[in-house]
Structure 1
Amino acid sequence: MRLADILKDIEYTIVKGNVDVDIRGICYDSRKSKEGSMFVAIKGFKSDGADYICDAVERGAVAVLVDSEISIDKDITVIKVENTRKSLAKIASNYYGDPSKQLFLIGVTGTNGKTSVTYMIKSILESQNNKVGLIGTIQNMIGDKVYPTERTTPESLDLQRYLRLMVDEGVKYVVMEVSSHSLALNRVDECDFDIAVFTNLTQDHLDFHKTMEDYANAKSKLFKMAKTACVINIDDDYSSLIIENSNAKVVTYGIKDYAYIMAKDIKNGIKGVKYTVQIEDIKSDISLKIPGLFSVYNSLAAIAVAFILGIPLQTVRMALKDVKIKGRFEVLDIDAPYNVVIDYAHTPDGLENLMKAFDEYDTGRKILLFGCGGDRDKGKRPKMGEVAGRYADFVIITSDNPRSEDPMEIISEIEAGIKNTKCPYKIVENRREAIKYALSTAKDNDIVILAGKGHETYQVLKDGVIDFDEREIVKEILDGDEKS
């Protein structure tokens, strides 16, 4: 594809060379540069792409895109723009033929619930024999094909490539988790959203956004982009802000405040939740295998999308009744007199919602094991400790993904919050040993809750990434077949 065509609708300056050159690929990682490619130099949080221009050229790049002054004596084309990250979204869309315009794109954003809502919507759409694409935290999917994911919402170049692939594979609908990072960093700028969904907004990612106001404003960008409808949780404190920023028809859902789509007569149990959904004068009974009030909210969001698309409630009801999501209130199938539940809850609100879900069950003790991620929002650590102390009967504080931080420093910040409660707790820094201890202390009818990692099958340490699937670890411990 000609460079001039790739740069369509972008303001740029030719520093050297010309735009009448054939481009065989685009990359922002110099290691992926190949003969005839274009390298886009993006400023990251830890490095500057401009430092890798020579490496990209040596690997075959014939053009580079920059947003700073550079000097290079190679015989290549150098294009300068105001912001390479923002330009990359448009370049990627041009290169892959504006794929989102050929798809019905549903974006889901919020602190908690994004993954569950996307899977529920996917299940509903597939129940009507639609081929559905999914982009999100656990994995990317095209129909039944699974593709690995590195972040909740891919970088714009990778995202547009996936969307192109979905078009080519005959996908009609795409359901996508849209993170606040992706909105703030222009990853979804060229996505043609039809429906935008807002789940909730609670403290998270303040290492990046700095304030809740900045965080909320980043989320609200999605609702300015939606063409058909905006689905909004009216019970959330930030719903008014999201509604104000919505440029399409607003459809509200909720439990507490009046909403267009509401849940009534909620009955919670350890194996699921049942309720009656009401849309104007239409009612239907809904049954979910994922318990908790948060599951009711998540399913209401999915029901709202289905309503907008004209999908009958009977179809929706059947599609939701068997939905299960890895790492979301996942009750393990084990031979033990107690239950083990794995959940991704990694924010104060997420942890509180998870623990509240157990309140209506006739169980023994709630033994909660959790930690907090390193190199992330430190302000939530004592808050999560305080939440844990309020709702659990016994807490084991351990590591999550400590990354470059000292695990014990993270634990001490969590401990500061739990000390304000009367809940007994124990610190076991090694997460595998912590799980072993939790299982050893569990008695009949207790619930052991492993929170924070959910679907993840790895742990990120200072020295690198290790395999860490809590399902396998629990099985190994119970079978007496632990790895040394």
Structure 2
Amino acid sequence: MGRFKMLKLQELLKVLEHEELNQDLDIDIAGITYDSRKVKEGYLFVAITGFKSDGHKFIANAIENGAKAIIAEKDIEVNETPVIKVEDSRKALAQLSAKFYGYPSKGLTVIGVTGTNGKTTTTYLIEAMLKELGIKTGLIGTIKTKIGDKEEDASRTTPESVDLQRIFAQMLEDGVTHVVMEVSSHALELDRVLGVDFDRQVFTNLSQDHLDFHESFEDYLAAKIKLFKMNDKPSIINIDDVKSEAIIKEAIGEVISYSINSESDLKAEDIEVTQKGVSYTLKANQEELAIKLNLTGRFNVYNSLAAIGTVYSLGFSLADIKKGIEKIEGVPGRFQVIDEGQEFGVIVDYAHTPDGMENVLNTASEFTKGRKIVVFGCGGDRDRTKRPIMGRIGVTLGDFAIVTSDNPRSEDPMTIIEDILLGIKKEDKIEGEEYIIIEDRATAIKEAIKLAKSDDIVIIVGKGHETYQILKDKTIDFDDREVAREALRGISSGN
């Protein structure tokens, strides 16, 4: 990126509280990284104590690859290369990155969306509406990063701080003015968004998730609240959620509320849900507007209200917003309809939390005449406590369940399935009549489609847009949508 020049190390260090273990700081820094494999000549290497590996162990590799200085939390000895000791390397990485790239978020209108469910859809809706209004936009989220019309796949919901600042800088260079991004609880807890100048903060909802990372639900909530304490800009908040009160209490700036059930600044009434979409009457500032979405489900009413509230708060008219939001066709892997001309419905959704799964199945109930056949599993190396809860939801809200593998990661898939079955057995469900177990996910999807009859709906949850499956020793190509399409084509061809 041509607009960025090297900075002197001593200039960079002005943003840090630090201890200089070696004193020669008159060094040009060409880049910053926390990954020793990405170090190039003239880089500053920041050694982070991670959850799986310790960056301090790779300092020698970083120096060999061209690192000219080291940021570390621990006392280390290296020959000649300057070492700067800090209390928290992650925080230092964020502060240094923002400084190195010239605080690019200050030149952008940055909208951060946080919550357990709905972040991806809400960011997509906001970005699409702004784009329709003639704004050059950027998007950072679970599925992809977009800079104008250029796209690249995302590796995590919120990038690491140095990557995030680099992306902001690239967006600014390319003429982007508005950026919409998902902000995960991990990112907030690990200071990835430290130094980001947010212009709007959006709260969708909060339910059980990530308790493998956060010590408790209260800690999870506390992480989310951090976003609303970062500045005094307006916050757009779902006040139907029971945890909204805690967030509003801590929010520094103006609160713009949205709801279905409560009195709020933006409220949806007269909601009608079909398999193809949802419509409602929007009430905002004594105005009433009929909204018709090409997305279905009450949860998407909430997502659309969050998006509308955000764009409205930026000064755009409700009439223009309506035109934009009604043109949006959908979000990959979010209640995505798979249609190969079959006589029953097939839906693929990313729902991987109890609340998300419950929302999807309740939505399907509103328009399904036949049975709901549910295919689901739970991810490995993640919160184990939600597994039996999702098992219970699958068999109580679905008419027939197929319990299968998701992304097992380092765990044995059958061990995860046994955890899920604890919730199913508690409901006294009968194996073979109300649920079956098929460990292989592709086989499970094909069996669900084979079992479906006219007016039934097959609901495949957990992976949504993902195009891979993470196993113990490898990651394989796997897409629920493509597996379902292949199975449906097999039915239509008589195979």
- Where in structure 2 are the equivalents of 1:218-367 lying within 5 Å? 218-323=223-328, 324-367=330-373
Q: What corresponds to 2:463 in structure 1?
A: 453
1:171 aligns with 2:176: yes
The Cα offsets for residues 30-73 of structure 1, whole Å up to 9 and x where unpaired, read as 0111111111000110111000000111111111100111122x
2:101 to 88, 96, 103: 96
The Cα offsets for residues 49-106 of structure 1, whole Å up to 9 and x where unpaired, read as 000000111111111100111122x221111111110010010001100001000110
SS of residue paired to 1:373? coil
TM-align CA RMSD? 1.3
Q: Which amino acid aligns with 2:195?
A: E
Q: What corresponds to 1:415 in structure 2?
A: 421
**Residue 422 (structure 1) shift:** 5.3
SS of residue paired to 1:271? coil
1:7 aligns with 2:13: yes
- Is the 2:340–2:489 contact (alpha carbons within 8 Å) kept by the matching residues of 1? no
- Is the 2:377–2:403 contact (alpha carbons within 8 Å) kept by the matching residues of 1? yes
CA distance in 1, matches of 2:132, 2:11: 40
Q: What corresponds to 1:142 in structure 2?
A: 147
**Residue 17 (structure 1) shift:** 4.2
- Where in structure 2 are the equivalents of 1:101-140 lying within 5 Å? 101-140=106-145
1:191 to 185, 189, 196: 196
- Where in structure 2 are the equivalents of 1:17-32 lying within 5 Å? 17-32=23-38
1:380 to 355, 376, 386: 386
- Is the 2:137–2:176 contact (alpha carbons within 8 Å) kept by the matching residues of 1? yes
- Flag structure 2 segments of 5+ consecutive residues without an equivalent: 1-6
Q: What corresponds to 1:473 in structure 2?
A: 483
**Residue 475 (structure 1) shift:** 2.2
- Is the 2:408–2:472 contact (alpha carbons within 8 Å) kept by the matching residues of 1? yes
- Is the 2:32–2:43 contact (alpha carbons within 8 Å) kept by the matching residues of 1? yes
Q: What corresponds to 1:160 in structure 2?
A: 165
**Residue 476 (structure 1) shift:** 2.2
Q: Which amino acid aligns with 2:408?
A: P
SS of residue paired to 1:349? helix
CA distance in 2, matches of 1:360, 1:333: 19
Q: Which amino acid aligns with 1:390?
A: T
- Is the 2:141–2:157 contact (alpha carbons within 8 Å) kept by the matching residues of 1? yes
Q: Which amino acid aligns with 1:240?
A: E
CA distance in 2, matches of 1:215, 1:447: 34
Q: What corresponds to 1:442 in structure 2?
A: 452
The Cα offsets for residues 309-332 of structure 1, whole Å up to 9 and x where unpaired, read as 121111111211232100000001
1:400 to 401, 406, 410: 406
2:62 to 46, 52, 56: 56
- Please give the TM-score of this superposition, normalised by the length of structure 2: 0.95
Q: What corresponds to 1:426 in structure 2?
A: 436
- Flag structure 1 segments of 5+ consecutive residues without an equivalent: none
- Is the 1:382–1:417 contact (alpha carbons within 8 Å) kept by the matching residues of 2? yes
CA distance in 2, matches of 1:21, 1:360: 64
- Is the 1:5–1:94 contact (alpha carbons within 8 Å) kept by the matching residues of 2? no
**Residue 306 (structure 1) shift:** 1.7
SS of residue paired to 1:404? coil
**Residue 123 (structure 1) shift:** 1.2
Q: How many residues align?
A: 481
Please, which moves more after superposition, 176-185 or 470-479?
470-479
CA distance in 2, matches of 1:278, 1:197: 19
**Residue 289 (structure 1) shift:** 1.3
- Is the 1:262–1:300 contact (alpha carbons within 8 Å) kept by the matching residues of 2? yes
**Residue 350 (structure 1) shift:** 0.4
The Cα offsets for residues 221-249 of structure 1, whole Å up to 9 and x where unpaired, read as 00011432011100001001100110100
CA distance in 2, matches of 1:418, 1:142: 45
**Residue 8 (structure 1) shift:** 2.2
CA distance in 2, matches of 1:126, 1:322: 11
Q: Which amino acid aligns with 2:76?
A: I
Q: Which amino acid aligns with 1:71?
A: E
The Cα offsets for residues 157-184 of structure 1, whole Å up to 9 and x where unpaired, read as 0000000001001111000100000000
**Residue 6 (structure 1) shift:** 1.7
CA distance in 2, matches of 1:193, 1:441: 49
CA distance in 2, matches of 1:182, 1:15: 30
CA distance in 2, matches of 1:386, 1:414: 8
Identity of aligned residues (%): 51
The Cα offsets for residues 233-281 of structure 1, whole Å up to 9 and x where unpaired, read as 0000100110011010000000111111100000010111000010131
2:86 to 81, 106, 119: 81
CA distance in 1, matches of 2:180, 2:232: 15
SS of residue paired to 1:208? coil
1:16 to 7, 19, 22: 22
- Is the 2:373–2:459 contact (alpha carbons within 8 Å) kept by the matching residues of 1? yes
**Residue 362 (structure 1) shift:** 4.1
**Residue 363 (structure 1) shift:** 2.1
CA distance in 1, matches of 2:166, 2:323: 33
Q: What corresponds to 2:4 in structure 1?
A: none
**Residue 364 (structure 1) shift:** 1.0
Q: Which amino acid aligns with 2:484?
A: V
- Is the 2:240–2:261 contact (alpha carbons within 8 Å) kept by the matching residues of 1? yes
CA distance in 2, matches of 1:472, 1:299: 28
